Amino acid sequence: MRKFLLFFLIQFLAFILLVTNLRAIDELRYVPAALTEVSYLFLQWTILKRIQEETAWSARLGYMLGGTLATLLSMWLTRGWS
């Protein structure tokens, strides 16, 4: 359960940043686009090795669900940008 939660949170944060970044780019919001891009890249750089070495299915499931739920939440949070 610990690995599931860790990888869920990692991917949840990554996809919140990624989807918000894409919305910012689409709406030509330069400062939010730059801030979310730098944050996303820093997160990926710091956890990439850990993700590559993980073999537990619970971690994989958390990683997939975290990304999926974060995408939906970020779309909902940034819906008023248009």
- State the SS3 of the chain: CHHHHHHHHHHHHHHHHHHHHHHHHHCCCHHHHHHHHHHHHHHHHHHHHHHHHCCCHHHHHHHHHHHHHHHHHHHHHCHHHC
Calpha distance 64→12 (Å, rounded)? 9
Q: Does the pLDDT at position 40 exceed 80? A: yes
Mean pLDDT (whole number) for 44-62: 87
Does a structural domain hold residue 25? yes
pLDDT at 29: 92
Tokens of 19: 């989807």
Q: Which domain holds residue 61?
A: 2-77
**pLDDT cut 70: percent of the chain above it:** 99
Q: Is residue 82 part of a domain?
A: no
pTM higher than 0.85: no
Domain count, the chain: 1
